[in-house]
Each structure stands twice: as structure tokens, then as C-alpha cells.
Amino acid sequence: MVSSTEDVFLDARLTPTLSPNPVQYDKLTVEFPSEEVAPLTLEVYDSQGRLVRHQKELVGIGVQKLWIDVASLSPGNYFLQIQQGKMRGVGKFLIL
């Protein structure tokens, strides 16, 4: 059996700015630059590597600002992965 995999590249240009960090309330603000009008996937993983949030957005060109509802997440460390086309950016945040 042959399976195909799609190459996805970690790209520093897509690295998000996360605020507030640490998060004390219910919203995490995610800012990042986008070079094209395209769908974007945001995924939040807990410290055990489990996917705890999945969000899709359509973004434009320029600096983007999105919000993720984290009110139902337990205190701890989390990782955010952003993927747009074949580019991926990663950030880390803490919920108090």
C-alpha cells in the first residue's frame, strides 16, 4: 500500500504573537502576518500532545488578529499551531 504525505514547512514568518500570555480569562489573541488570502487552521494542543481546539478561518493579506476561546481549558501549558497552505507556525502559551 502506498500512501502520500504532503510536505508542510515550519516558517518563522507565520510564528504567531500570543497575548495575553499567560492567559487569565477566556480569550487568547493570536496575531500573525498573512501573505495571501487563504484558509487557515488553528489547533491548540495540551502538554500531553492532545488536540483540544480546532478552528478554521479565512484570512486576508496583512497582519491578522484572531481570538480563540480558551474558557473551558484547564490551567497549564499549551501549544498553538497555525497552518496556511504548506506553511506552519507554532507558539506556546500558559493558562493560569
Tens-digit pLDDT profile for residues 13-66: 788 999 999 999 899 999 999 888 999 999 999 999 999 999 999 999 999 999
Distance CA 40, CA 87 (A): 10
Report pLDDT for 5: 52
Report pLDDT for 79: 97
Report pLDDT for 2: 43
pLDDT of residue 6 exceeding 70, the answer is no
What pTM does this model have?
Answer: 0.85
From the centroid of its chain, how far is CA 72? Answer: 17
Identify which has the larger pLDDT, 85 or 45: 45
Neighbour tally for 23: CB within 10 Å: 21
